[in-house]
């Protein structure tokens, strides 16, 4: 279990990294934390010709509060930094709930926030979280910059809109309005393991207790994280009753997802889990929003 030979570049600035990516084209691959890429290379399932290592670029690792109450997170910010950041805890308690479920402490010390999103593992948490938190993703290439909504970033399993010469540079999470609650619910075979199914919800109430925003995303039940339309359609403008939540859960589980069967779980069980976890996640999020 040793990787194939490859060329290695260790740029010390973003500009230099983009230069390498431009030169390498399809032969190049970004090495962020490497906690998913390197195992795949050790199994020789991933066989990149060249790696552009971003670990030597300090300017890509930061957590910066933004004026709207949100955060801008540099792509190379270690997962453990996000996990233990007071700003994150204060502004996005959802992340505080999610981070300990990402593998194990040693992996989170090395794995990066942006790397996990760009890796686009359908069982990964952070792609889904970026969607449910309505993130804006800053994408750079040599001489160019574009912003992509997280909802539009993921194309399929391990596939994103990123071109070979591009890299994800920053994740901007817009601030959440007052009376917002969130909840992450996951079932996995083991702590830190891949989720069999998971659901994250972010909801906002007005002063009268009516729902003004409801975003709910489902993980491990399709090729990409699935943002529920039913949640928004049914809940916004209403008081979040158990019946309404149950209706969302039913529609989400029966119509919105496309789970598969593997050695760990059947599609039917995953569907059932979504029904349960949507209910738990939304109920908890609304309770928290009401506090």
* Site residues, other proteins (CB under 8 A): 1-8, 10, 34-35, 38-39, 41-44, 51, 53, 55-56, 80, 100, 103-107, 109-110, 187, 189-194, 196, 263-266, 268-270, 272-273, 276-277
* DSSP code at position 21: H
CB of 136 to other proteins, least distance (A): 30
Cβ proximity of 96 and 193 under 8 Å: no
Cβ proximity of 113 and 79 under 8 Å: yes
Which of 45, 67 has the CB closer to other proteins? 45
DSSP H helical ranges for the chain: 14-24, 37-42, 79-83, 86-91, 93-98, 105-108, 113-119, 125-132, 229-235, 242-251, 267-290
State the SS3 of 78-145.
EHHHHHCCHHHHHHCHHHHHHHHHCCCHHHHCCCEHHHHHHHCCCCCHHHHHHHHCCCEEEEEECCEE
Please give the structure tokens belonging to residue 154. Answer: 């993921």
CB of 104 to other proteins, least distance (A): 2
Which of 5, 143 has the CB closer to other proteins? 5
Looking from the CA of 1 toward its CB, the CA atoms found within 13 Å total 5
Distance CA(134)–CA(128), nearest Å, equals 10
Distance CA(8)–CA(53), nearest Å, equals 7
Which of 49, 69 has the CB closer to other proteins? 49
Closest listed residue to residue 73, CA positions, set 25, 123, 32, 28: 32
Which of 81, 215 has the CB closer to other proteins? 81
Which of 38, 161 has the CB closer to other proteins? 38
Which of 12, 66 has the CB closer to other proteins? 12
Which of 65, 158 has the CB closer to other proteins? 158
Enumerate long-range contacts of 141-150, CB under 8 Å, 24 or more apart: 141/18, 141/21, 141/22, 141/165, 141/166, 141/167, 142/18, 142/19, 142/21, 142/22, 143/18, 150/117
Which of 66, 266 has the CB closer to other proteins? 266
CB of 274 to other proteins, least distance (A): 11
Q: Which residue has the tokens 């955060």?
A: 71
Distance of CA 51 to the CA centre of its chain: 23
């Amino acid at each position: 279990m040793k990787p194939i030979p490859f060329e290695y570049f260790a740029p010390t600035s973003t500009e230099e990294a983009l230069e390498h990516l431009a030169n390498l084209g399809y032969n190049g691959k970004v090495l962020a934390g490497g906690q998913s890429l390197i195992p795949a290379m050790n199994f020789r399932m991933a066989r990149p010709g060249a790696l552009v290592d971003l670990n030597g670029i300090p300017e890509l690792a930061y957590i910066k509060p933004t004026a709207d109450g949100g955060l801008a997170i540099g792509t190379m910010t270690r997962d453990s930094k996000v996990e233990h950041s007071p700003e994150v805890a204060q502004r996005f308690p959802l992340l505080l709930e999610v981070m300990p479920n990402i593998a194990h402490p040693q992996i989170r010390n090395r794995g990066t926030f942006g790397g996990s999103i760009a890796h686009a593992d359908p069982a990964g948490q952070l792609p889904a979280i970026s969607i449910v938190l309505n993130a804006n993703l800053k994408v750079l290439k040599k001489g160019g910059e574009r912003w992509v909504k997280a909802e539009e970033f993921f194309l399929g399993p391990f596939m994103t809109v990123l071109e070979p010469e591009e890299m994800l540079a920053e994740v901007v999470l817009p601030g959440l309005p007052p009376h917002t609650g969130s909840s992450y619910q996951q079932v996995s075979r083991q702590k830190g393991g891949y989720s069999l199914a998971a659901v994250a919800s972010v909801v906002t109430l007005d002063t009268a207790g009516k729902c003004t925003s409801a975003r709910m995303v489902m993980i491990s039940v399709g090729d990409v994280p699935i943002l529920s339309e039913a949640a928004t359609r049914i809940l916004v403008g209403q008081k979040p009753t158990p019946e309404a939540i149950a209706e969302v859960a039913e529609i989400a589980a029966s119509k919105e997802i496309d789970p598969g069967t593997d050695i760990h779980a059947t599609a039917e069980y995953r569907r059932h889990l979504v029904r349960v976890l949507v209910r738990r996640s939304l109920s908890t999020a609304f309770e928290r929003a009401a506090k």
